[in-house]
Amino acid sequence: MSMRWLLPLLVTLAACSATGGEPAFAEVDPCSLLRPGDAGGLSGTPARSDRVCDFRFDSLTVELTLLEAAFADESRALLSDGGYGGVIAGGEGESNNRPLTRRCAETSGEVRCDAVLEVRERQLVRFEVVQRGTDPNAVGQVVQGLAAKAFERLPK
């Protein structure tokens, strides 16, 4: 193949790969990020409203929201009210780990956890999880597992 054909071929390949593939963050269906088995059986079909999806698992409910905001701002609110930070392993190496902040509290036999995961700069997944019980740490671990599952299913 002569060199004069190489540049047009590369341009064509780049254009094809840019338009195909997985959807961008703004196009992701939030209901595609959790599935039956992630936190028990899924009861019914998840309810979607814009960038929010409500899931009902056997023993807990999850509201998952995709939003574009600064992680520091969203995280600060959780940290100021007793939350703490962690990470979700993003695969190959520590540089791919993603920050997660969560806050869990028990009131009246019910645990509520709020969490925010940074996927990329200004691309966040917010979780609101409610489960009957009195162990915020156990529910917090469930939230962390759900965040890891959602992150795996997002386009990279």
Specify the pLDDT at position 20. 53
Residue 2: the pLDDT is 47
Whether 16 maps to a domain, the answer reads no
pLDDT recorded at residue 94: 66
Q: Which domain holds residue 47?
A: 26-153
Q: What is each CA distance from 5 to 10, 11, 12, 15, 55, in whole angstroms?
A: 9, 10, 11, 16, 52
CA 43 to CA 149: how far, in whole Å? 18
Is residue 10 assigned to a domain? no
Q: Is residue 148 a part of any domain in this protein?
A: yes
SS3 of residue 136 by DSSP: helix
The verdict on residue 4 lying in a domain is: no
Q: What percent of the chain has pLDDT over 70?
A: 83
Which CATH number goes with the domain that contains 53?
2.60.120
- Is there a domain that residue 62 lies in? yes
100 belongs to a structural domain: yes
Answer whether residue 48 is part of any domain: yes
Q: Which residue has the higher pLDDT, 90 or 86?
A: 86
Is 3 a residue whose pLDDT tops 70?
no
Q: Is pTM, for the whole model, over 0.85? A: no
Query: What's the pLDDT at 96?
Result: 82
How high is the pLDDT of residue 103? 97
Domain count for the chain: 1
Three-state DSSP state, 94:
helix
Residue range 4-56, pLDDT digits in tens: 433 333 333 333 344 455 568 999 999 999 999 999 999 989 999 999 999 99
d(CA 109, CA 120): 35
